[in-house]
Structure 1
Amino acid sequence: MELQDYLRILRKNWIALVVLTALGAGAGLAFSVVSTPSYTASAKVFVSTANSSDVADLATGNTFTQQRVKTYSDLVKTSAVLQPVIDDLGLGRAVSEVRGQVSASTPLNTTVIDVTVTDADAVFAASLATATANQLIATVEDIETTDAAAGSPVRLSVVQQAEVPGAPTSPNRNLNVALGLLLGLALGVGFAIVRATLDTRVRNERDLERVTDAPVLGGIAYDPKAKQRPLIVHEDAMSPRAESFRTLRTNLQFLDAERSERSFVITSSMPSEGKSTTAANLAITLADAGARVLLVGADLRRPKMAAYMGVESGVGLTDVLIGRVELYDAVQRWGRSDLFLLPAGSIPPNPSELLGSSLMETLITRLNAEFDVVLYDAPPLLPVTDAAVLARLVGGTVLIVAAGSTHAHQVDSALAALETVGAPLSGLVLTMLPTKGPDAYGYGRYGYTYAETDGKK
């Protein structure tokens, strides 16, 4: 995926991002509120050698103490230091308990030992730190004294007693909220990406490019009133949706240039993808451009074309194929244009066999000779084989794909059904494209490059 794909995913899942980020920040704040505050107090112990006026001895002594300071700081956690402290303060605790509260560190290139204690009681933390520092001095002097007369070669002294801390060192509310916010944001981004990865629905032209190399002929915007006004080209001729059908008409004229017949099967992967309304509006735009067009209701299972176009459906394609009526008796002219309709007619018990018969092949040849463009409104490809059988005879197929509804594997299966019977795919049309939101695409990429203002173009 490219950067714009990730941005589209984040825009689409912005609510989840905001919610998870807020929950993360809230969790960090809640953790800070319910956590027991801890206070840290430190005492400083300075380590030096016995007094000497010689400069060389001073340098040697300084090097010696720096080497020994690390060893002395390690003694802080030993029983030799902690047990006397426990006894003096009357803590009644085991050395292992106190050891977890006490630590010692030595700043680099110094002879200072920082004795630090962390506890929920600020006063106790300061008392324990000071007592531990004093006991460290006594323990070191006892260990280093090998000659009672000469005394210890090093001297330790408390240069800063532990002060009672005024504020807890943990929990750090600001830090916890910031970490929670970042964690929530990361979870939100991860959720959005995983959701997009698992979502196999086709939403735009880029998704189709991952499935097939066939050209995308156009994009039709989603219209919630499509069932009430399917023939948008005449009902709202100046709308962007109507213009998109005219763009589709223009692109269709460049398809299959080497094929003399201008006939196409209009089908889809699954039902309710807008194939019938697309076929009807496309036929109207072609007739408006001066072409002699025939729209054939080739969906012999659930015919809709006659109802959309407002024509009589009692006689049609099936009646012509079985010889019940003549072609010209079944074909109906629509309006004053050169648009003619051949409804589906009576629903037969064997639609696939009828559409794939030699009678249908003969009729297709005749229709190609008598009309400039013939459009066949066929059933979906996946539920039944009717469209694939018909597409093999017609020689051109336009596959309708509903954006945000059709899955990539369904498109792939539909293409495989066409390939199995050797029917060529002319192109695809994206329908039901959203007009708002992150998945919305301007009509400019499909040829519609101007907008309406106050009802004027």
Structure 2
Amino acid sequence: MTLLELLTLLRKHLRLVIVLPVACAIAVAAYAFLFMENTYSTTTSMYVLTLDQTATGANLYSDLNASQQVANDIAQLMDSSRVRDDAARAVGLEDLDGFEISVASETNTRVITLTVTGGEPRAVAEVANALAESVGDVAREVMNVESVNVIDEASAPTAPSGPNRPLYIAVGLMAGLFAAVAIVVLMDMLDTRVRGDEIVELLGVPVIGRIPLVKGGN
């Protein structure tokens, strides 16, 4: 089937090509707005300060690569049960299973960025700040760093960060369009009726006359 034939076929079933994508988009929009809960994200950043190596003031990690390694190690501490359990107890929760926690450590820097996502604005800010405090305590104890200082304390977000409802609706619209095209093509493949001049190609004989169809005639 050529592109021109496909376009002609879609034009013959234009109602289906329009109605099905719109119906899918409406269904996805209804689900997104009625059943998908808002999520909120907040961010806090921390700076890792290492201990002096000697009394002369030389740092334990004097180059940027070593500093990055320390920051990466502390970022890994965020996944430890001890840090998360301490943070959960600090905010009065049994665990942090209802929160999505991500940690990023930029290259050649001691700055760590912590992002917490959850269903309540105030709760995500409290969890983020509790995690920052907890990881600082554990890092000082087990890694012998001087401190993990909070640069920007997490605050309660004022607007939801998700879900991305417009994206879901667009995906539903495109899915409906692809489904409509597939249905139209399948209907054409299953239709074995001979139409128009196809009989000339099938029989190999010329047309010697045509009988017009008169609607409403006797």
TM-score range, shorter chain: 0.7 to 0.9
Corresponding residue for 1:288? none
**In structure 2, distance between residues paired with 1:207 and 1:75:** 76
Give the direction of change, closer, same or farther, for the CA distance of 1:57–1:88 in structure 2 (3 Å limit).
closer
Corresponding residue for 1:81? 83
Q: Amino acid of the residue matched to residue 176 of structure 2?
A: G
Is the Cα contact below 8 Å between 1:48 and 1:62 reproduced in 2? no
The reply on whether 1:32 has 2:35 as its aligned counterpart is: no
**In structure 2, distance between residues paired with 1:222 and 1:134:** 87
Corresponding residue for 2:117? 118
Q: CA deviation at 1:3?
A: 1.3
**In structure 2, distance between residues paired with 1:208 and 1:51:** 94
Q: 5 Å matches for 1:12-411? A: 12-34=12-34, 35-50=36-51, 60-91=62-93, 93-94=94-95, 97-98=97-98, 100-145=99-144, 152=145, 155-205=147-197, 209=201, 211=202, 214-217=204-207, 220=210, 222-225=212-215, 228=218
Q: Amino acid of the residue matched to residue 24 of structure 1?
A: C
Give the direction of change, closer, same or farther, for the CA distance of 1:2–1:86 in structure 2 (3 Å limit).
same
In the comparison of the two structures, how many residue pairs are matched? 214
Q: TM-score normalized by structure 1?
A: 0.43
Give the direction of change, closer, same or farther, for the CA distance of 1:37–1:224 in structure 2 (3 Å limit).
same
Taking only aligned residues, the RMSD between alpha carbons, in angstroms, comes to 2.8
Q: What do residues 268-292 of structure 1 show as CA deviations (whole Å, max 9, x unaligned)?
A: xxxxxxxxxxxxxxxxxxxxxxxxx
Q: What do residues 244-282 of structure 1 show as CA deviations (whole Å, max 9, x unaligned)?
A: xxxxxxxxxxxxxxxxxxxxxxxxxxxxxxxxxxxxxxx
Q: What do residues 62-88 of structure 1 show as CA deviations (whole Å, max 9, x unaligned)?
A: 211212323322221221101111111
Structure 2: which 5+ runs fail to align? none
Q: CA deviation at 1:49?
A: 3.3
Corresponding residue for 1:4? 4
Q: CA deviation at 1:206?
A: 5.4
Give the direction of change, closer, same or farther, for the CA distance of 1:78–1:39 in structure 2 (3 Å limit).
same
Give the direction of change, closer, same or farther, for the CA distance of 1:225–1:90 in structure 2 (3 Å limit).
closer
Q: Secondary structure at the match of 2:47?
A: strand
Which of the two has higher C-alpha Rg?
1
**In structure 2, distance between residues paired with 1:36 and 1:137:** 32
Give the direction of change, closer, same or farther, for the CA distance of 1:63–1:4 in structure 2 (3 Å limit).
same
Q: Amino acid of the residue matched to residue 100 of structure 2?
A: Q
* More divergent stretch after superposition (13-22 vs 109-118): 109-118
Q: Amino acid of the residue matched to residue 19 of structure 1?
A: V
Is the Cα contact below 8 Å between 2:84 and 2:95 reproduced in 1? no
Structure 1: which 5+ runs fail to align? 146-151, 229-457
**In structure 2, distance between residues paired with 1:142 and 1:195:** 70
**In structure 2, distance between residues paired with 1:37 and 1:75:** 29
Q: CA deviation at 1:61?
A: 3.4
Q: CA deviation at 1:48?
A: 4.1
